[in-house]
């Protein structure tokens, strides 16, 4: 009988080559499966097979072939999408004054578009609604609201009460939106400094619910009516000044409830036509050309007074009055 001599080295080499060949065949098959699964819009089966293959090779750790990263959720806005206005009557119901009605509707349309939220809540605060909100948050102020004869001061108290209870975006009915300003999601307070940098220009006031600055402003308003707070200037703007005092009494971001953005008023005059040249200049009063801008980014967002308001009369022959 013929004896066949087996060379251990050759046998080992042959086994190794055969093993590599088998592995190549398996990998080729898996690649074909990937292509098939991709064509069918799913990699779930392949992922399962690859997990099994890895385990068969004695690996202790299961490796995800196609790891999926969850999409980060957009940051939740600290300032809710409430559009808030005040006037002695609900302009959206009466449609009058016409120029204010058109301006308020323009503000609503611009912000709903900017937010991508066509159903954003609109709140119009007339006197009965104001009393209801003031009663809920600071009942001691109700009597002073009802006694106050100047509409601007009544509006100061009313908007503070609503903003503290609900938060949102407050606009004066005569503030014209040029380009909506939408703050970052973590911002909790937005307003503007007046043209003289003396106090707050509260025609725009965006705040979070329960904002500490608003709470302190309500307290300052109450102190004023209780005669615990006095101003040297008899013509002082009570609301803007009390808010300035409230803001200054809360020096840190933590005390203010979070990040704050302050825009600035600026007058567009004949001698600075190079500044925002694309913004229309009106001729009837320089106050018509006061705008609110984001100085850091170089953007104009609001005109402080729409045509037809107290300090910005209509142009002669204007058919839109």
The domain segmentation of the chain, as residue ranges, is 82-263
Is the torsion defined by CA of 23, 25, 30, 35 positive or negative? positive
Whether the per-residue pLDDT at 82 is higher than 80: the answer is: yes
Place of tokens 């709903």: 112
Which two three-digit tokens encode residue 166?
């609900």
CB 300 within 8 A of CB 277: no
How far is residue 195's CA from residue 289's CA, in Å, rounded to a whole number?
11
Q: Is 84 helix (H, G, I), strand (E, B) or coil?
A: strand
Question: What's the pLDDT score for residue 236?
Answer: 77
How far is residue 269's CA from residue 272's CA, in Å, rounded to a whole number?
5
- Contacts of 202 by beta carbon, 8 Å cutoff, 6+ apart: 156, 159, 170, 172, 191, 239, 240, 243
Whether the per-residue pLDDT at 306 is higher than 90: the answer is: yes
CATH of 82-263, one of 3.90.550.20, 3.30.1330.10, 2.60.120.560, 3.10.100.10: 3.90.550.20
Which two three-digit tokens encode residue 67?
């790891």
Q: Across residues 96-124, what is the average pLDDT?
A: 96
Which two three-digit tokens encode residue 33?
């499966």
Residue 77: pLDDT band (50, 70, 90) is: confident
Distance of CA 68 to the CA centre of its chain: 30
| Phi and psi torsions of 17, nearest 5° | -65, -40
The closest alpha carbon to 244, from 288, 181, 196, belongs to 196
Its pTM stands at: 0.75
């Amino acid at each position: 009988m013929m004896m066949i001599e087996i060379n251990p080295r050759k046998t080992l080499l042959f086994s190794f080559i055969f093993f590599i060949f088998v592995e190549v065949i398996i990998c080729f098959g898996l690649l074909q499966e990937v292509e098939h699964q991709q064509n069918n819009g799913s990699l779930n089966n392949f992922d399962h097979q690859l997990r099994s293959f890895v385990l068969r090779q004695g690996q202790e750790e299961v490796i995800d072939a196609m790891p999926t990263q969850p999409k980060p959720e957009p940051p939740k806005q600290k300032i809710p999408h409430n559009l808030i206005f005040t006037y002695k009557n609900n302009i959206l119901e009466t449609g009058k004054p016409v120029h204010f009605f058109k301006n308020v509707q323009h503000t609503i349309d611009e912000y709903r578009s900017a937010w991508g939220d066509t159903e954003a809540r609109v709140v119009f605060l007339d006197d009965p609604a104001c009393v209801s909100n003031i009663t809920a948050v600071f009942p001691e102020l109700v009597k002073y609201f009802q006694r106050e004869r100047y509409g601007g001061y009544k509006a100061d108290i009313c908007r503070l009460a609503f903003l503290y209870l609900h938060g949102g975006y407050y606009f004066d009915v005569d503030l014209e939106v040029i380009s909506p300003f939408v703050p970052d999601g973590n911002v909790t307070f937005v307003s503007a400094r007046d043209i003289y940098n003396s106090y707050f220009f509260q025609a725009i006031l965006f705040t979070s619910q329960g904002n500490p600055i608003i709470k302190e402003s309500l307290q300052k308003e109450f102190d004023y009516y209780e005669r615990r707070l006095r101003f040297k200037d008899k013509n002082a703007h009570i609301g803007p000044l009390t808010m300035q005092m409230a803001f200054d009494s809360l020096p840190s971001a933590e005390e203010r409830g979070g990040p704050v953005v302050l825009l600035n008023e600026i007058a567009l005059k004949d001698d600075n036509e190079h500044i925002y040249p694309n913004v229309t200049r009106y001729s009837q009063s320089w106050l018509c050309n006061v705008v609110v801008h984001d100085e850091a980014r170089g953007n104009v967002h609001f005109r402080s007074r729409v045509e037809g308001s107290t300090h910005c009369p209509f142009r002669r022959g204007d058919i839109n009055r």
